[in-house]
Homo-oligomer: A and B are copies of this chain.
Amino acid sequence: MSSSTTTRPTLEIVARHAGVSRQTVSNALNAPHVVKAATLQRVRASIDELGYRPSSAARQLRTRRSRVLGLRLEPVQDGINGAVLDRFLHALTDSAQERGYRVMLFTAADDRQEIARYGELLDTDDLDAFVLTSTHRDDHRAAWLTEHGIPFVTFGRPWAAQDQGGHPWVDVDGRSGTQAAVAHLRELGHRRIAFLGWPEGSDLGADRAAGWLTGMADRGLSTRELQRLRVGVPDGVATGAQGTERLLADADPTAIVAASDSLALGALTVARRNRVAVVGFDDTPVAAAVGLSSVAQPLTAAAGAAVDLLLAQLGEGGPVPDRQVLLSPHLVRRATSTPPPAH
């Protein structure tokens, strides 16, 4: 699985190092009172020197539940949208602790390494379950955990349609969020509402775009007009500003729904002087700080549901009604929810 798993010293190696039998090492570990003090000391010295650790199976036998949940902490990205996962982590730690569980963090460069870490962690740290974030298509992590019979839940749905009924997951309905943003802007009097999203290829982005499109459906705009009212740029403040310039030049919108607060912030730098309303997504601290309306994810509820789904798998905390939980976000209205200019 990983190099550290295969090179880990065995009981055999410890026995040879200490010049005792395997049974003596086993006794030193499991029934030290039956081992002579001098021998015990020698075995322990070998254990320390070699860095030997009893297998998780043996530890599980003794302790059954470790009451520890593993979570991969993703690297800090642009720092604006990353705040969502940090807030989820706070909520998850709270929820877990209320039920007597802890959260253990690890890092990994990619999914493959994350899977390798599962093996290491189960072997050395005796975890009960994992929480996965940032799900995507062809996500081999869930398959690996399912195959190995390890309880887990994902924050984020499996995006491939055939997997939707599969493993337990919690997610937030982005589509209903952008749809609510459009409805809010329509209430303010806007008709030409643009969507500032990401390039094709992101399921999360397609979901948020779909909510905008649904909201715009009965606006009497042609398919061609709707196409011009939509732009896809990589996430970021600068790219958000560029995308907005393009929208303003091509489609003359009076309002913009953005797929993220980063994009929305970029939009704001351009839109403010054009009196264009802007709604972001994720209600990050930046949104609150600059007065940006934004779609907020119910992260406390999501973390609570994730822990419920895990405890149900661990045979604790009673059955849960659903194995898949899709929560609705809500709109936070702030200063950038301006009406369109008077005609």
Contact = CB atoms under 8 A, between A and B. Distances in A.
Interface in A118-168: 121, 124-125
Given A93-B105, A105-B93, A289-B265, A64 B80 contact: no
A184 interface: no
Contacts of A27: 31
A124 B67 contact: yes
A contact residues, range: 35 or more
The interface residues of chain A, by DSSP majority, are classed as helix
Looking at A30, A67, A93, A94, the one whose CB has the most chain B CB atoms below 10 A away is: A30
A124 B102 CA distance: 11
Contacts of A105: 89, 93, 102-105
B32 A44 contact: no
A107 interface: yes
What is the total number of copies of this protein in its complex? Answer: 2
Contacts of A48: 64
Interface string A90-126: 1001100100101111110000000000000100110
A68 B105 CA distance: 10
A290 interface: yes
A285 to B, nearest CB: 3
A87 B93 contact: no
